[in-house]
Amino acid sequence: MKRITLLVIVLLVMIVASACGSPAPAATEVPASEPIAQATELPAQPAATEVPVQPVVTEQSAQPSAPGTEVIITLEDNSITSSLTEYEVGVPYTFVITNKGNHGHNFNIAQPVSVVGSLNAALSGALLAVPKSQLGAGAQVTVDYTFPESALTTQLELSCLITRHYQDGMFLAITVTQ
Protein backbone atom coordinates (compact mmCIF):
# COMPACT_ATOMS: atom_id res chain seq x y z
CA MET A 1 0.00 0.00 0.00
CA LYS A 2 2.89 2.37 0.81
CA ARG A 3 4.43 1.69 -2.62
CA ILE A 4 1.19 2.55 -4.39
CA THR A 5 0.86 5.78 -2.42
CA LEU A 6 4.46 6.72 -3.18
CA LEU A 7 3.95 5.90 -6.87
CA VAL A 8 0.83 8.08 -7.03
CA ILE A 9 2.66 11.00 -5.39
CA VAL A 10 5.60 10.67 -7.80
CA LEU A 11 3.24 10.59 -10.79
CA LEU A 12 1.37 13.66 -9.57
CA VAL A 13 4.62 15.58 -9.12
CA MET A 14 5.72 14.59 -12.64
CA ILE A 15 2.39 15.69 -14.13
CA VAL A 16 2.50 19.04 -12.34
CA ALA A 17 6.14 19.58 -13.35
CA SER A 18 5.47 18.82 -17.01
CA ALA A 19 2.34 20.99 -17.06
CA CYS A 20 4.32 23.98 -15.86
CA GLY A 21 6.52 24.02 -18.98
CA SER A 22 9.69 25.96 -18.40
CA PRO A 23 10.81 26.61 -14.86
CA ALA A 24 9.77 29.85 -13.15
CA PRO A 25 12.50 32.47 -12.83
CA ALA A 26 14.38 32.65 -9.56
CA ALA A 27 13.27 35.31 -7.11
CA THR A 28 15.93 37.76 -8.29
CA GLU A 29 15.65 37.11 -12.03
CA VAL A 30 13.55 39.25 -14.33
CA PRO A 31 12.30 37.43 -17.42
CA ALA A 32 13.65 39.21 -20.49
CA SER A 33 10.93 38.23 -22.94
CA GLU A 34 7.89 38.07 -20.68
CA PRO A 35 6.24 41.06 -19.01
CA ILE A 36 4.71 38.85 -16.30
CA ALA A 37 6.52 36.24 -14.18
CA GLN A 38 5.28 32.65 -14.23
CA ALA A 39 2.49 31.62 -11.85
CA THR A 40 3.42 29.10 -9.22
CA GLU A 41 0.04 28.31 -7.70
CA LEU A 42 -3.61 28.35 -8.61
CA PRO A 43 -5.82 30.99 -6.98
CA ALA A 44 -8.38 30.10 -4.34
CA GLN A 45 -12.00 30.84 -5.14
CA PRO A 46 -12.32 34.65 -5.04
CA ALA A 47 -14.78 36.35 -2.73
CA ALA A 48 -17.69 38.09 -4.40
CA THR A 49 -16.10 41.52 -3.91
CA GLU A 50 -12.68 40.82 -5.37
CA VAL A 51 -11.23 40.30 -8.80
CA PRO A 52 -10.13 36.70 -9.47
CA VAL A 53 -6.46 36.69 -8.54
CA GLN A 54 -3.92 35.43 -11.04
CA PRO A 55 -0.79 35.00 -8.94
CA VAL A 56 2.36 35.78 -10.82
CA VAL A 57 4.91 36.17 -8.05
CA THR A 58 6.64 33.26 -6.39
CA GLU A 59 7.24 33.15 -2.64
CA GLN A 60 10.03 35.59 -1.93
CA SER A 61 12.78 35.30 0.64
CA ALA A 62 13.22 37.99 3.26
CA GLN A 63 16.82 38.49 2.07
CA PRO A 64 17.03 38.85 -1.73
CA SER A 65 20.32 37.56 -3.14
CA ALA A 66 20.93 40.55 -5.44
CA PRO A 67 19.08 43.53 -3.99
CA GLY A 68 18.22 46.53 -6.11
CA THR A 69 17.11 49.98 -5.09
CA GLU A 70 14.78 49.40 -2.14
CA VAL A 71 11.22 50.67 -2.49
CA ILE A 72 9.01 50.66 0.62
CA ILE A 73 5.36 49.99 -0.22
CA THR A 74 2.73 50.28 2.50
CA LEU A 75 -0.76 48.94 1.98
CA GLU A 76 -3.41 50.12 4.41
CA ASP A 77 -7.15 49.80 4.19
CA ASN A 78 -8.09 52.33 1.47
CA SER A 79 -4.57 53.64 0.75
CA ILE A 80 -1.26 52.71 -0.82
CA THR A 81 2.00 54.61 -0.33
CA SER A 82 5.43 54.21 -1.87
CA SER A 83 8.85 55.62 -1.06
CA LEU A 84 9.34 56.11 -4.84
CA THR A 85 6.94 57.04 -7.63
CA GLU A 86 9.51 57.53 -10.41
CA TYR A 87 11.38 54.49 -11.75
CA GLU A 88 13.94 53.86 -14.48
CA VAL A 89 13.95 51.17 -17.16
CA GLY A 90 16.59 48.51 -16.59
CA VAL A 91 17.26 49.41 -12.95
CA PRO A 92 16.62 46.57 -10.48
CA TYR A 93 14.22 47.46 -7.65
CA THR A 94 13.50 45.54 -4.48
CA PHE A 95 9.90 46.16 -3.46
CA VAL A 96 9.30 45.60 0.26
CA ILE A 97 5.51 45.41 0.45
CA THR A 98 3.89 45.55 3.90
CA ASN A 99 0.17 45.20 4.56
CA LYS A 100 -0.58 47.35 7.61
CA GLY A 101 -4.32 47.09 7.03
CA ASN A 102 -6.94 44.90 8.69
CA HIS A 103 -7.83 43.15 5.42
CA GLY A 104 -5.91 41.16 2.83
CA HIS A 105 -4.76 43.09 -0.24
CA ASN A 106 -3.02 42.35 -3.51
CA PHE A 107 -0.25 44.47 -5.05
CA ASN A 108 0.06 45.23 -8.73
CA ILE A 109 2.02 47.32 -11.15
CA ALA A 110 -0.52 47.75 -13.92
CA GLN A 111 -2.27 50.19 -16.19
CA PRO A 112 -5.07 52.20 -14.55
CA VAL A 113 -8.55 50.71 -14.70
CA SER A 114 -9.72 53.93 -16.39
CA VAL A 115 -7.33 53.16 -19.28
CA VAL A 116 -7.92 49.41 -19.73
CA GLY A 117 -11.62 49.36 -18.83
CA SER A 118 -11.90 46.89 -15.94
CA LEU A 119 -10.19 45.43 -12.90
CA ASN A 120 -9.84 42.09 -14.71
CA ALA A 121 -8.15 43.74 -17.69
CA ALA A 122 -5.75 45.62 -15.41
CA LEU A 123 -4.92 42.44 -13.49
CA SER A 124 -4.43 40.30 -16.59
CA GLY A 125 -2.08 42.89 -18.10
CA ALA A 126 -0.17 43.61 -14.88
CA LEU A 127 3.61 43.83 -15.17
CA LEU A 128 3.89 42.57 -11.59
CA ALA A 129 1.22 41.05 -9.34
CA VAL A 130 1.41 39.78 -5.77
CA PRO A 131 -1.77 37.87 -4.84
CA LYS A 132 -3.92 38.42 -1.77
CA SER A 133 -2.90 34.96 -0.53
CA GLN A 134 0.60 36.39 0.13
CA LEU A 135 -0.55 39.75 1.52
CA GLY A 136 -2.90 39.02 4.40
CA ALA A 137 -3.21 41.53 7.25
CA GLY A 138 0.26 42.13 8.74
CA ALA A 139 2.12 40.26 5.97
CA GLN A 140 5.30 41.46 4.29
CA VAL A 141 6.57 40.31 0.90
CA THR A 142 9.83 41.24 -0.84
CA VAL A 143 9.85 41.20 -4.64
CA ASP A 144 12.66 42.05 -7.05
CA TYR A 145 11.54 43.68 -10.30
CA THR A 146 13.12 45.57 -13.22
CA PHE A 147 10.93 47.67 -15.49
CA PRO A 148 11.13 46.70 -19.19
CA GLU A 149 11.46 49.26 -22.00
CA SER A 150 7.78 48.74 -22.88
CA ALA A 151 6.92 50.49 -19.58
CA LEU A 152 8.23 53.78 -21.02
CA THR A 153 5.18 54.26 -23.20
CA THR A 154 2.63 52.90 -20.73
CA GLN A 155 0.62 54.77 -18.12
CA LEU A 156 1.12 52.76 -14.90
CA GLU A 157 0.12 52.73 -11.27
CA LEU A 158 0.73 50.74 -8.09
CA SER A 159 -2.60 49.31 -6.97
CA CYS A 160 -4.73 46.83 -5.07
CA LEU A 161 -7.06 45.44 -7.73
CA ILE A 162 -9.73 44.15 -5.38
CA THR A 163 -13.03 45.77 -6.37
CA ARG A 164 -13.96 47.75 -3.28
CA HIS A 165 -10.34 48.49 -2.37
CA TYR A 166 -9.52 50.00 -5.76
CA GLN A 167 -12.74 52.04 -5.77
CA ASP A 168 -11.84 53.41 -2.32
CA GLY A 169 -8.53 54.77 -3.63
CA MET A 170 -5.91 52.03 -3.36
CA PHE A 171 -3.91 53.17 -6.38
CA LEU A 172 -0.93 55.46 -6.91
CA ALA A 173 0.28 56.78 -10.27
CA ILE A 174 3.93 56.12 -11.14
CA THR A 175 6.29 57.26 -13.88
CA VAL A 176 8.86 55.14 -15.72
CA THR A 177 11.74 56.97 -17.44
CA GLN A 178 14.83 56.02 -19.44
pLDDT score for 27: 37
- The full set of domains in the chain, from first to last, is 2-177 (2.60.40.420)
pLDDT score for 114: 97
pLDDT score for 95: 98
pLDDT score for 30: 36
pTM of the predicted protein model: 0.65
pLDDT score for 21: 47
pLDDT score for 1: 64
pLDDT score for 3: 66
pLDDT score for 8: 59
3-state secondary structure 17-48: HHHCCCCCCCCCCCCCCCCCCCCCCCCCCCCC
**What sign results for the dihedral spanned by CA atoms 146, 41, 7, 5?**
positive
> Residues in the chain with pLDDT < 50?
16-17, 19-56, 58-65
Q: How is 81-138 classified by DSSP, letter by letter?
A: EES-SEEETT-EEEEEEEE-SSS---EEEE--HHHHSSHHHHHHT-SEEE-GGG--TT
